[in-house]
Amino acid sequence: MAGHFEATPDGGAAVALDEVEISILRSLAVQLLELVGPGDQAAEGSDPLAALFAEGPSEPPTDPALARLFPDAYGDDDKELREASSEFRRFTEIDLRARKREDALAVVRSLDSVTTDEDGSGELRLTADESRQWLGALNDLRLTIGTRLEVGDDDQGQEGSLYRLPDSDPRKPMVLAYLWLGALQETLVETLMS
């Protein structure tokens, strides 16, 4: 099980992690929380019905990683499609940000519950719901890191060149994290589909 998820009898997943892996995953999830931001929280005592129909931003984020996490619904230069994207964003981004925060928080909380033994290794056990939250967070982390590494949708050969970076390249740790998260994501998908 070391390094990849396996199915558990209750429909969840489990993976063996050491203290370093736990620390890296937790740090990345916290950074994702900081990137996504605290969101628009309703003030205490405010009207819950008004909060339910609160409008979000209408313009796409300027940060490329956030733009990747919260893309336009309709990617075209046509004025009508831009307006439709703006409307769609206004009514969906608040909920999408909240879900991304919940997924990242689920990762942090589950990692905080792992007990390690004297050699620094432990087993992370996830329920089916937690597994789906992990899958969302792993996807968001890969999208964010991939954007920072300038890996695009059409860069099929780009990922292969990431394997060949020299150890002296300052992007190397980020590349290793990107590839490791991809392997975790792949085994979690396989586990949930089995």
The secondary structure of 74-131, three-state, reads CCCCCHHHHHHHHHHHHHHHHHHHHHHHHHHHHHHHHHHCCCCCCCCEEEEEECHHHH
* CA 27 from centroid of its chain's CA atoms: 12
């370093």: which residue's tokens?
A: 20
Mean pLDDT, rounded, for 70-84: 82
Does position 31 have pLDDT exceeding 70, yes or no?
yes
The share of the chain scoring above pLDDT 70, in percent, equals 85
How many Cβ atoms from other residues are within 10 Å of residue 28's Cβ? 21
Please indicate whether residue 1 or residue 126 has the higher confidence score (pLDDT). Answer: 126
Mean pLDDT, rounded, for 107-117: 95
Q: What are φ and ψ of residue 15, in 5° steps?
A: -150, 140
Does position 36 have pLDDT exceeding 90, yes or no?
yes
pLDDT for res 81: 85
| Cα gap 114→116, rounded to integer Å | 6
pLDDT for res 131: 97
pLDDT for res 163: 75
Please indicate whether residue 56 or residue 142 has the higher confidence score (pLDDT). Answer: 142
| Cα gap 109→131, rounded to integer Å | 13
Mean pLDDT of the chain: 86
Does position 43 have pLDDT exceeding 50, yes or no?
no
| Cα gap 132→12, rounded to integer Å | 9
User: Does residue 60 contact residue 67 with C-beta atoms inside 8 Å?
Assistant: yes
Please indicate whether residue 74 or residue 115 has the higher confidence score (pLDDT). Answer: 115
Tokens at 159, concatenated: 């990922």
Does position 84 have pLDDT exceeding 90, yes or no?
no
Does position 50 have pLDDT exceeding 80, yes or no?
no
pLDDT-based confidence at 5, cuts 50/70/90? very high
Order of strands, edge to edge, in the sheet holding 121-126? Answer: 6-7, 13-18, 121-126
Does position 49 have pLDDT exceeding 80, yes or no?
no
Q: Would you give the end-to-end CA distance of the chain in angstroms? A: 16
Q: Where are any strands of DSSP class E within the chain?
A: 6-7, 13-18, 121-126
pLDDT for res 46: 62
| Cα gap 30→81, rounded to integer Å | 34
| Cα gap 125→6, rounded to integer Å | 10
Does position 72 have pLDDT exceeding 50, yes or no?
yes
Over residues 140-172, the pLDDT tens digits come to 999 999 999 988 665 555 556 777 888 898 989
